Structure 1
Amino acid sequence: MGAEAVAVACDVSDRDALAAVLDGIPAEHALTGIVHTAGVVDDGVFASMTPERVGAVFAPKADAALHLHELTASLDLAMFTSYSSVAATYGSPGQANYAAANAVLDALAHHRRARGLAGQSLGWGLWGRASDISGHLSATDLARIGGALSDEQGMALFDAALASAPAHVLPVRLHLSELKRRGDVPALLRGLVRVPKRRATAAALDRSSLAGRLAGLSAAEQERQLTALVLGEVAGVLGHVSGRPSRRAVRSRSWASIR
């Protein structure tokens, strides 16, 4: 099509190295747009984070985006698009540093728009093609995340996002009908998916529901059931395998304070 592509390598988290690449762009082909896609992962729950683990994930994602913003602030760019992640919006168990780094990109897009500059952050969902970021995911992880995007769907959503106005867009594949069928709709999506309220009577109580499972139990057994439920939910959010407390916690009964 008459276009010529040039690949130039540098560490985008190194501000001086990135500045040298930008300075090397010839005036006759002036920079008019940026698509920032760099990123690495070092998954772990919040309690396992260290400055080194946070810094390693922030460097190519957040630091590089801020360098690009500062180094091109005087240019009249038509595009400044960053690849963020839906993890920054929904939260993602076991990705404490990655979610935070992507939240920086989302905030930067709004900051640039407020200054009258081009800026958009795309909070991507999972792509079907395996990458260095997604290749380590297990079958359980993929089932929890939900539907993946094909290359064709991803590029179509990229084009649609660029044609839209919002500074922050979520190109994500959602199974809304399945969420509605299960009645298990995350709070963030309840404005999109309306689930009819169901009224239950004592005579028609669904034995598979929480209220149904608790009916007829003693107060002590109800407490044990509810404690196990809360611990399981907390474990899922934090990315732990099990919600069972440690032996030390059981002995001290400190875990019971969550009631």
Structure 2
Amino acid sequence: MFGHFRRQGGTGSTRSAEALRLVKVSKVYGSDDSAVTALDGVSLSLPAGSFTAVMGPSGSGKSTLLQCAAGLDRADSGIVMVDGEQMTGGTEAELTKFRRQRVGFVFQQYNLLDTLTVEQNTTLPLRLAGRRVDRRRARDILARVGLGERLGHRPDQLSGGQRQRVAIARALVTEPSVIFADEPTGALDTRSAREVLGLLQEAVRVHGRTVVMVTHDPVAASYADAVLFLADGRLAGHMERPTVDEVAERLAHLGDMVAARHDVPAGV
């Protein structure tokens, strides 16, 4: 089974508990002649306290993988388990409750509410879940991500990098088992991107979270402990301790293979 990585270093010993498991997960969009298989029997296992990047050519299924693993979309078949608990096919309310208890999200477009302050955006998941809001802890997390002086600001008063820091603080405040990040640096300049990636590393090494990040950027992937590669909805390899050049080379090779299989010129 691909993807059983263990992080070395960081604070304390490596944790062996399984944070995320997918067993033969499949997802098809459309039907009959227009059917597109986004995921084709994907199985993987990631331990707690790991930072994994998910990469692949356009249309490889990486975003669908994240959405199904995070409970934002339902797989057609297979099993998804987060922190040892199976994500069942119950009601939407049950699925929402499961996500709120075990999962955090960081999206490319931040998904902050413009009418709320930095502090209010950060604590919103706790309020939605009916959990007690520990404002002192929320402010401590915001201070750690460099926003301790911005508690009363609204999103339109922040830079893109600062907005993404709010999103990371919001993901941390619920103490989720897994943080899913979908192209978290895609809308940021180089400096802000580095800062955000450093915060995601800190979420793993200091806060003990597990991070799964979808990205197309080899530089972003190099911040992860390991990379999972997808092609045509299937796992197509993995790489531990990735470097920018190694990731870029592997992606180019995958792109050429996919283009050849579909008889499409590379780069189209």
**TM superposition score category, shorter chain reference:** under 0.3
Whose relative contact order is higher, 1 or 2, with alpha carbons under 8 Å and at least 6 apart? 2
Give the number of the structure whose residues are more often helix, by fraction.
1
Give the number of the structure whose residues are more often strand, by fraction.
2
For normalisation by structure 1, the TM-score amounts to 0.25
For normalisation by structure 2, the TM-score amounts to 0.24
